[in-house]
Amino acid sequence: MKPHSKRVIIGELPNVPAVPARPSQTHSIVRVAIVEDDEWLRSSLVSQINGAAGFECLGSFRSAELALQHIPALKPDVVLMDINLPGLDGVQCVRQLKEICPKVQFLMLTVYEESERIFNSLQAGARGYLLKRTAMEELLNAILQVMDGGTPLTDHIARKIVHYFNQLGERASTLESLSPRETKVLEALARGFSYKEAADSLTLSINTIRMNVRHIYHKLHVHSRAEAVAKYLARR
């Protein structure tokens, strides 16, 4: 079967055609959507992603409102989301899109390094947080990492998350509620393992890993892998 030709839907266009959902995990193309209000950066990201082998940009949008209108129909694998958008901000956009499209993964791409913004993004459902100055090769690797169940965070941003927890008085006492297996799963996640790598390392099935992750989220009162890992790192 020939791969479908690349086409980019720009958010200013009134009509967005539906794009078929990803047929399987073995699909050769990673499909990306971009939400960014800076026209030059938005166009640059579209061009570079479409120019990279194995990637396709389905659409780019200059506002959260346009993204909410069109992204559910596009069904991308990953959305690159700016935080500081006109009108509804990127954090609120991620939170709303995550409810509509729970399988879509979100990567925050922003100039901001403030701890509260980072934490709020992760709470909203973002999988990772990278700076706009990130090199394209690193950004593409981060997209692949998200697709594999990873959480791309620079060391600097990870330290900020830990510091933010400490400032809030968040301690690791809740970690004591985890079972030995859940603790081992969390340790594997903290080492950057994907679900498959964690399953192989612990001789468990991926479904067992997912079940343990759900229990970890519930016991630690978190909503994302990044939050759980930050709580684990905060006790060290």
Are 206 and 188 contacting, i.e. CB atoms less than 8 angstroms apart?
no
The set of residues, in sequence order, having a beta carbon less than 8 Å from that of 123 and lying 6+ positions away, is: 223, 224, 227
The domain segmentation of the chain, as residue ranges, is 9-154, 170-234
pTM above 0.75, yes or no: no
Query: Which phi and psi angles does 181 have, rounded to 5°?
Result: -65, -45
- Residue of 169, 163, 31, 201 whose CA lies nearest to 105: 31
- N- to C-terminal Cα separation, the chain: 51
What are 155's two structure tokens?
A: 């060391």
Query: Residue 3: which pLDDT band, with cuts at 50, 70 and 90?
Result: very low
Residue type for position 127: R
Cα distance between residue 186 and residue 193, in whole Å: 10
Q: What is the model's pLDDT at position 116?
A: 72
Q: Which of 9-13, 18-22, 222-226: highest mean pLDDT? A: 222-226
Instruction: Write the pLDDT tens digit of every residue in 56-85.
Output: 999 999 999 999 999 999 999 999 999 888
Query: Which of 108, 146, 154, 196 has its CA nearest to residue 30?
Result: 146
Q: From 1.10.10.10, 1.10.150.120, 1.10.287.110, 1.10.15.40, which CATH number describes the 170-234 domain?
A: 1.10.10.10
Query: 9-154 sits in which CATH class?
Result: alpha beta
- What are 130's strand-pairing partners? 109
Of the chain, the percentage scoring pLDDT greater than 70 comes to 76
